[in-house]
Structure 1
Amino acid sequence: MSGPVTIQPGHKLLPFTADWKNELFASCSPIQEGVIYCLCGPCCAGRLHQRTGENYFGCLVPGTTQALRAKIRMAYGIKGTLIGDCLASCCGPCSLLQMKKELDAQGVPNPFNN
């Protein structure tokens, strides 16, 4: 007869070693994209939410864009913290563009490109 199981199965956390493909403040290039994200931030955020499988209107709820940033960071093993995700929202357009460019670099389809 065997003894009781004393170690439960669990999740193994992988180390986050990757960097963002674009720096936060270097993301506003080309300038046309930077202007669009500055003037139409909520619409651009909604598109990012929808592109990652979230609800388009989720961007209207406070904190969801920071949560989306954390989701993208965790999905691709990017170094960072939740506090850093929140602080990145101090420059919302830069943060949104950085997330968009990360999704582009990772090959996530963009249904909004014509």
Structure 2
Amino acid sequence: MMTSKMVIHQPQPVMEAQDSDEWVSGICDCFDDVPECCFAFWCCPCFACKTTKDYGQCLCLPLLDMFGFIPAVTMSMRVSMRQRYGIKGNMCKDCLFATCCNSCTWCQMSKEMKRRNIQVVLVGAKNT
């Protein structure tokens, strides 16, 4: 009796690697995008919600930061972004920036997403 095995390979998402392991802008580089930084400064909760949604998370997630001294959502978003894009850093700096420079931190993360803009490409997928 002969048995045969069928193997099916599904296409997997592939992410392009970026060369830099640093943030594309500094924490206080507000003049790179003045309108965005003004929006982040004058209406940080709205800006944070918009950035979180663009990142693929729940729109209202940053509103939870209002209930604590350390903005845990801002810090966790920064950590997540560092890991996604392979940016060097540590949680101590993430906590410091999230606590002391909240609107600057959200502005930096928004600029990072815009400049890196890594798209997921399905290898071997057919266009329909």
Residue in 2 that maps onto 1:8: none
Give per-residue Cα distances to partners, 1:31-57, cap 9 Å, x unaligned: 322221111100110111111111111
Answer yes or no: is 1:85 the counterpart of 2:94: yes
Residue in 1 that maps onto 2:61: 58
Residue in 2 that maps onto 1:106: 116
Q: Distance in 1 between matches of 2:31 and 2:102?
A: 11
Q: Distance in 2 between matches of 1:57 and 1:32?
A: 22
Whichever of the two has the greater Rg, that structure is 2
Aligned pairs, number: 93
Q: Which blocks of at least 5 consecutive residues in structure 1 are unaligned?
A: 1-16, 110-114
Q: CA deviation at 1:91?
A: 1.0
Q: CA deviation at 1:30?
A: 3.2
Q: CA deviation at 1:25?
A: 0.8
Q: CA deviation at 1:27?
A: 3.5
User: Could you tell me which amino acid in structure 1 is paired with residue 76 of structure 2?
Assistant: A
Q: Which blocks of at least 5 consecutive residues in structure 2 are unaligned?
A: 1-19, 66-71, 120-128
Paired residue for 1:29, among 20, 29, 32? Answer: 32
Question: With structure 1 as the length reference, what TM-score do the two structures score?
Answer: 0.74
State whether residues 74 and 102 of structure 2, in contact with CA within 8 Å, keep that contact through their aligned partners in structure 1: no
Report matched runs for 1:1-80 at 5 Å. Answer: 18-62=21-65, 63-80=72-89
Q: CA deviation at 1:59?
A: 0.3
Question: With structure 2 as the length reference, what TM-score do the two structures score?
Answer: 0.66
